[in-house]
């Protein structure tokens, strides 16, 4: 049988999750992260006061969860290691309990025929390292490099696909620009230093990996296409600058080994260049990634500024563009995000044309919906809206693959409903629902659908 949408051979079907959002910070032996600190200090900033201790308990139920992954056709799964769990305090002795846990998870995935993709950092700085400045402090780069090497040495015999960071722009935006992550700083200069030091830490890990390991290492970036309101030069320039700040500030050094000249010039003009070291340039140039994970949820639409920035207000990327709300846009009303499926294709074409057609895959895509129990019928959540969302994105991904883009797979965020930072359990994303009282997992309609897609390596319209 010929399918309308047949995907390349050995396509990765799976999902992604993170340690902080699934393991439960009080399960097992673990150090504290910035999330434990912030929740303790300001529980009101978390939806319904639910903190990182109350997660889906992957720590105890991973065997059940991995069995469920296998049942719905996963051949790959991205998880993250908690730095604070593996090395409490971020530096020093390795936690044997964490080594046992991650070994058991990796072995169980492999036993079930699911390839583990392991990410080293997903927004979860050990609190002791945040207290000395976090990514602002180059001492933390050294600690991260030590942590990365330990992880490679412990698990690299079985894990052959690694990622240094997930969405490194998010701690920059949330923690240092727009006050939606700890440490709640609003200071662009510090934000830019954090972003820069993160990429130096990334390059250090890539170098260590290539020196001693035989798999692939990359980074996961949430690439958000910047679409101009119009073809007017002012709108085009606004979109270009937005793209420099939010996409190319990580994409270019990761894939090309250097920063865009016009980003450097812009920061220099406004006195916002980060502090660098003489060897940094060569480090970036000589340690580019093997594979790129692409998280895509929504586009970014921008226009030229309506008003000049307040010269007394803090410097911000927003000095150069305004967000544009396109009339008639399709929305996920629960999340407040536009749904624009073609964005996934535009990203892949950009990677093909401007980034050497690097091996890449969709490492996250998904639809968060509130109060999904409204859609229960005969004990199952009938999430046809999620099936439609995935299907329409996959059609554009298929088109990109047909046109020669190096697309290796598609991972949904996420396998089962999980705790989501400040939003806690407000929006549900999983193939499986999780009962917060009992922890019981129940497959949604989308789980049955993706099982068939994975089995056939494609689908009919």
Name 329's Cβ contacts closer than 8 Å, sequence gap at least 6.
301, 338, 340
Do strands 291-295 and 216-222 pair parallel, antiparallel, or not at all (unpaired)? parallel
Query: Which residue matches tokens 């003489």?
Result: 278
Query: Which residue matches tokens 């319904």?
Result: 48
221, containing H or E segment: strand 216-222
Q: Report the candidate in 442, 440, 343, 353 with the shortest Cα–Cα distance to residue 405.
A: 353
Query: Which residue matches tokens 């990429």?
Result: 199
CA 180, distance to chain mean position in Å, is 16
State whether the Cα torsion 59-60-61-63 is positive or negative. Answer: positive
Name 96's Cβ contacts closer than 8 Å, sequence gap at least 6.
none
Residue 395 vs residues 400, 402, 410: alpha-carbon distances, Å: 9, 11, 12
CA 234, distance to chain mean position in Å, is 31
Q: Distance between CA 432 and CA 440 in Å, rounded?
A: 10
Query: Which residue matches tokens 């439609």?
Result: 388
Helix (H, G, I), strand (E, B) or coil at 160: coil
Phi, psi for 249 (deg, rounded to 5): -65, -20
| Catalytic annotation, pick one of 104, 364, 372, 392 | 364
364 is annotated as an active-site residue: yes
How large is the greatest C-alpha to C-alpha distance in the chain, in angstroms? Answer: 65
DSSP 8-state class, residue 33: B
Geometric angle at alpha carbon 122, from 68 and 358, rounded to 5°: 85
Q: Distance between CA 146 and CA 161 in Å, rounded?
A: 19
Positions annotated as catalytic residues are: 364
């Amino acid at each position: 049988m010929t399918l309308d949408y047949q995907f390349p051979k050995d396509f990765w079907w799976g999902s992604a999750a993170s340690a902080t959002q699934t393991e439960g910070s009080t399960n097992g032996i673990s150090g504290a992260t910035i999330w434990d600190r912030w929740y303790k200090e300001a529980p009101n900033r978390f939806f319904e006061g639910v903190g990182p201790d109350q997660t889906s308990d992957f720590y105890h139920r991973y065997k059940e969860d991995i069995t469920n992954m296998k049942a719905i056709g996963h051949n790959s799964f991205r998880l993250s290691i908690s730095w604070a769990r593996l090395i409490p305090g971020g530096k020093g002795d390795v936690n044997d309990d964490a080594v046992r846990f991650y070994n058991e998870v990796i072995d169980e995935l492999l036993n079930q025929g699911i390839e583990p993709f392991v990410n080293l950092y997903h927004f979860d700085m050990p609190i002791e390292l945040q207290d000395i400045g976090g990514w602002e402090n180059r001492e933390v780069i050294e600690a991260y490099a030590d942590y990365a090497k330990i992880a490679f040495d412990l698990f690299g015999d079985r894990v052959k696909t690694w990622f240094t960071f997930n969405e490194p722009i998010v701690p920059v935006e949330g923690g240092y620009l727009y006050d939606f992550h700890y440490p709640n700083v609003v200071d662009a200069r510090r934000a830019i230093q954090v972003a820069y030091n993160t990429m130096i830490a990334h390059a250090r890990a890539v170098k260590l990996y290539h020196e001693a390991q035989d798999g692939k290492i990359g980074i996961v970036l949430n690439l958000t296409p910047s679409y101009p309101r119009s073809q007017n030069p002012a709108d085009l320039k606004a979109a270009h600058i937005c793209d420099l700040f939010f996409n190319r500030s990580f994409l270019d050094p990761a894939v090309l080994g250097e920063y865009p000249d016009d980003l450097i010039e812009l920061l220099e003009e406004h006195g916002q260049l980060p502090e660098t070291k003489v060897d940094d340039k060569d480090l970036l140039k000589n340690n580019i990634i093997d594979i790129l994970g692409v998280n895509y949820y929504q586009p970014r639409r921008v226009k030229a500024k309506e008003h000049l920035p307040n010269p007394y207000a803090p410097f911000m990327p927003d000095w150069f563009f305004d967000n544009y709300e396109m009339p008639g846009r399709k929305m996920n009303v629960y999340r407040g995000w536009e749904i624009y499926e073609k964005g996934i294709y535009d990203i892949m074409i950009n990677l093909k044309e401007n980034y050497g057609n690097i091996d890449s895959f969709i490492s996250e895509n998904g639809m968060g919906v509130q109060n999904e129990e409204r859609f229960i019928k005969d004990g199952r959540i009938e999430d046809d809206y999620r099936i439609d969302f995935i299907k329409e994105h996959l059609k554009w991904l298929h088109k990109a693959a047909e046109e020669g883009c190096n697309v290796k797979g598609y991972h949904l965020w996420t396998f089962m409903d999980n705790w989501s930072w400040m939003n806690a359990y407000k929006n549900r994303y999983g193939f499986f629902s999780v009962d917060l009282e009992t922890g019981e997992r129940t497959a949604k309609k989308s789980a049955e659908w993706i099982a068939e897609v994975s089995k056939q390596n494609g689908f009919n319209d």
